[in-house]
Amino acid sequence: MARISYIDIAKGILISFLVFHHLVWVAQMVVEGPNDFLEHMWSLQMDVFVGYFMQAFFVIAGFCSNFDSPWKDFLWRQVKTLLIPNFIFTIFFHLYHGEFVGSLYDIVQGGGWFWFLTALFLAKIVYYFVRRLIANEYVIFGLFVLASFVGTCLNDHELLYNYWWHRHLFTLLLFLPLGNWLRRHLHDSRIWIFGIAYVAGIAICHFLQIKVPYLTAYFFVTKYTWALHVLIAVSGSVIFLKLCSLLRGSAVFEHIGQNTLIIYFVNLDVLYPLIENFQDVYVKNTTEGSLLATFAIWTSAMVAGVMFAWVVNRRYLRFMVGK
């Protein structure tokens, strides 16, 4: 499938959201004492993007993937672009932290350190073969909605260790057929109803005084908040892509979107030392200082990720990211 400008822009914005989310999360752990600015940013991101931003990546995968290719070609492409980069950078991650044995443990038991790629790899395989058995996309979506609830219940009761991130796999499956459906319907005028649904979902959370349910490497969805999570994640993903489809030209975010994988791999290891260097600024707990520190850290992390991507995209290293 040829590159679509607004899809790259969407990916660029989403990975920027991811880095910001990690920044605020890590800073709150590292900084000794309260910081009002970080607390406000944590609350703000919940309403703006945390309820759907990882799911939106799955929607984009469903939007862009060719699920009609021969199964051997499809399987090899997923191994090449998702599994191999995951394994390579899992090993690099553990070597960087001086624990090579941990990388083998992560690969065998967890399918790699980078949960998102493991869950996406398995989800795409499952969706591919389910489509071979069931022709009706709406039936598939219904089955995957049920699977999402099962994944949430598995996490609630912890009956089995989360091998190869299977709880995430079940919970996120439904966003692949959603992306495939959205390819045909993104430009329908009625799609704006999803924006109303998203606002309603966030409003319900505030009315009931509960945290917006979300799913990252950690599971902040329970069987009691699952329906609300599906509402927010589905509607948020759809309306986000709809808004991105209206954008016309953003060279910066488009370039970032073409290098999301590398930024995803390295962002945490870049953020930790940067945040530690700005710790004294955060401890002072001033809005101006915290804002400038956050902007400097976020910008530096994004630039470092793009620069590292430039290195990895050289001719003899491109295999590391499935190219």
What confidence tens digit (pLDDT) does each residue in 133-146 have? 999 999 999 999 99
Neighbour tally for 245: CB within 10 Å: 18
Q: Give 47-91 pLDDT, tens digit per residue.
A: 999 999 999 999 999 999 999 999 999 999 999 999 999 999 999
**Contact 262/310 with Cβ under 8 angstroms?**
no
1 pLDDT band, cuts 50/70/90, is low
Residue type, 272: Y
What's the token pair of residue 188? 């329908």
Could you tell me what percent of the chain has a pLDDT over 70? 100
The C-alpha atoms of residue 323 and residue 316 are separated, in whole angstroms, by 10
Residues spanned by the domain of 286 = 5-321
Where helices occur in 246-286 by DSSP H, the ranges are 251-257, 260-277, 279-283
Q: What is the pLDDT of residue 32?
A: 83
Q: Give 157-214 pLDDT, tens digit per residue.
A: 988 899 999 999 999 999 999 999 999 999 999 999 999 999 999 999 999 999 999 9
**Contact 271/26 with Cβ under 8 angstroms?**
yes
Q: What is the pLDDT of residue 2?
A: 72
Quick one: which H or E segment has residue 88?
A: helix 84-96
3 pLDDT band, cuts 50/70/90, is confident
**Mean pLDDT across the chain, nearest whole number?**
95
Quote the number of domains for the chain.
Answer: 1
Quick one: which H or E segment has residue 219?
A: strand 219-220
Residue type, 11: K
Bridge partners (DSSP) of residue 219 are: 215
pTM: 0.96
> At how many degrees (to 10) do helices 260-277 and 5-30 cross?
30
Q: What is the pLDDT of residue 159?
A: 82
